[in-house]
Structure 1
């Protein structure tokens, strides 16, 4: 059952991420990104990382997508008729490529040498020794990865200010 759910969420993630890139309409691309974020949350649940799954849905599918939709609405992007033709043209070769890629992933999963499990020594025993998912994520995020975490927050702030400045110049 777990393998079937993994295949389902993986296919949904890859398919919706492809539609984010290939779809000409920015609002629909953002909606496909929300689907991708939710399916990533499902993958985190399969990895028994409930806290990370919840944060994926709340932070990314909630807050970040509201920010993205705000930026899209602020820029007033509209697809043109030629964009739809380009979308159809791009979709034709993408479907067989995606099917081949999905088949390759299934082949790797069912290969006798394939093994699933904890990599890097941070498996379920390590998480339990840290005091659970929340403590383990907190320690890693605020001790080992504090600088990348802060750099990401500054980059998001700069991006929001930049979009507002660009949109403000257009209004005048």
Structure 2
């Protein structure tokens, strides 16, 4: 969430693109935590690798200059981001405490052996989700 806010509020286009690359890497980390390793690798290779390199190339090719400071003063922007980040941190800590104190961590969840494999993902994409896969 912090990197997404950096993408939105960063004054430099290059800084925004670098923050977006970091956000894509964090999204790949979420996929890894959900045991979807193949999707995480695709996320890094396709989005954080190829597409973001293309974005950076176009931004640097356009040679965008920073304009006058037309937006908020930096102090007000930093205060707003600090308050939002504080609320976000409190919410995340609250949710983590709910999960830790309400779930029995002694028995791990069981997953099938074929969960997240390339064969299962390919079969699912080309049988159940053909139209969304082709549209995307």
TM-score tier after normalising by the smaller chain length:
0.7 to 0.9
Aligned counterpart for 2:130 among listed residues 146, 159, 167:
146
Aligned counterpart for 1:133 among listed residues 117, 120, 125:
117
Cα distance in 1 between the residues matched to 2:104 and 2:61: 47
Cα distance in 2 between the residues matched to 1:144 and 1:40: 24
Deviation at 1:93, TM superposition (A): 0.7
Deviation at 1:45, TM superposition (A): 1.9
**Cα gap change, 1:37 to 1:87, in 2 (>3 Å):** farther
What are the ranges of 5 or more consecutive residues in structure 2 without an aligned counterpart?
Answer: none
Deviation at 1:25, TM superposition (A): 0.8
DSSP-derived class of the 1:24 partner: coil
**Cα gap change, 1:19 to 1:115, in 2 (>3 Å):** farther
What are the ranges of 5 or more consecutive residues in structure 1 without an aligned counterpart?
Answer: 1-13, 153-172
DSSP-derived class of the 1:68 partner: helix
Aligned counterpart for 1:86 among listed residues 72, 75, 79:
72
Aligned length: 131
Deviation at 1:133, TM superposition (A): 2.0
State the partner residue of 1:16: 3
TM-score normalized by the length of structure 1: 0.63
State the partner residue of 2:31: 44
TM-score normalized by the length of structure 2: 0.77
**Cα gap change, 1:24 to 1:142, in 2 (>3 Å):** farther
**Cα gap change, 1:104 to 1:140, in 2 (>3 Å):** same
